[in-house]
Chains A and B, each alone.
Chain A
Amino acid sequence: MALDRELVGRSYPPSAVYEVGRAKIAEFATAVGALDPVHLDADAARAAGHPDVIAPPTFAIVVSLDAAFVVLSDPEVGLDYSRVVHGEQKFTHHRPVRAGDRLVATTTIDAARTVAGNDLLTARVELAGEDGEPVCTAVSMLVARGA
Chain B
Amino acid sequence: MLNTKDILETISMIQDENLDIRTVTMGISLLDCIDSDIDKACDKVYDKITRYAKELVPVCNQIEKEYGIPIINKRISVTPIAMLASACQTSNIVKFAHTLERAAQTVGVNFIGGYSALVQKGFANGDYALIESIPEALATTEHVCSSVNIGSTKAGINMDAVRMMGHAIRKAAELTADRDCIGAAKLVVFCNAPEDNPFMAGAFHGVGEADCVINVGVSGPGVVRAALSKLDKSANITEVADLIKRTAFKITRMGQLVAKEASSRLCVPFGIVDLSLAPTPAIGDSVAHILEEMGLEQCGCCGTTAALALLNDAVKKGGVMASSHVGGLSGAFIPVTEDAGMIAAARSGSLILEKLEAMTAVCSVGLDMINIPGDTSAEVISAIIADEAAIGMVNTKTTAVRLIPAIGKKVGDELSFGGLLGGGPVMRVNTGSPEIFINRGGRLPAPLQSLKN
Whether A associates with B in a native complex is no
Chain A interface (Cβ < 8 Å from any Cβ of B): none
